[in-house]
Amino acid sequence: GMAPAAVLKSFLCKKIAYVLPRSVEALRAVGVRVTGVEELSKVINDAAEEFLPPPASVNASGNELRFGTITPREPWAFAVYKPRKAPKAAGGGRLKTKL
């Protein structure tokens, strides 16, 4: 047999985990191009039914993990933003000295 990484790449596994596609068409839209995609869809659906709570049973206290997109109200206080690079000087930004 083939190694699992040769059949389904890790970046596709991450996409599947983030998107949670439930149908064969959705899996193909994510980028899955393997034979047996129907079986993969069945495994995902079975796992979702077992582990994901039904939408009607969400606890009003807010103690359960919510699934979906979250838009923050303000930037995260602990985020490390990369500073922008200063524009290069004319001539490639090299220091030219005469000896």
How far separated are the first and last CA of the chain, in Å rounded? Answer: 66
Task: Give the pLDDT band of residue 56 (cuts 50, 70, 90).
Answer: low
> Model confidence over 4-44: pLDDT tens digits?
667 788 899 899 988 889 899 999 999 998 888 999 999 99
Across 1-5, 61-65, 70-74, the highest mean pLDDT is recorded for 70-74
Asked if the structure places residue 67 within a domain, the reply is no
The residue-averaged pLDDT of 75-90 equals 77
pLDDT reported for residue 36: 87
The answer to whether the pTM exceeds 0.75 is no
Q: In angstroms, rounded to a whole number, what is the distance separating the alpha carbons of residues 36 and 24?
A: 10
Side chain identity at residue 56, one-letter code: A
Rounded mean pLDDT of the chain?
79
Q: Which of 47, 13, 11, 41 is nearest to 26 (CA)?
A: 41
Asked if the structure places residue 82 within a domain, the reply is no
Domain ranges, residue 44: 4-53
pLDDT reported for residue 64: 66
Q: In angstroms, rounded to a whole number, what is the distance separating the alpha carbons of residues 40 and 50?
A: 15
pLDDT reported for residue 84: 80
Residue 68 phi, psi (nearest 5): 140, -175
Domain count, the chain: 1
Asked if the structure places residue 91 within a domain, the reply is no
Asked if the structure places residue 96 within a domain, the reply is no
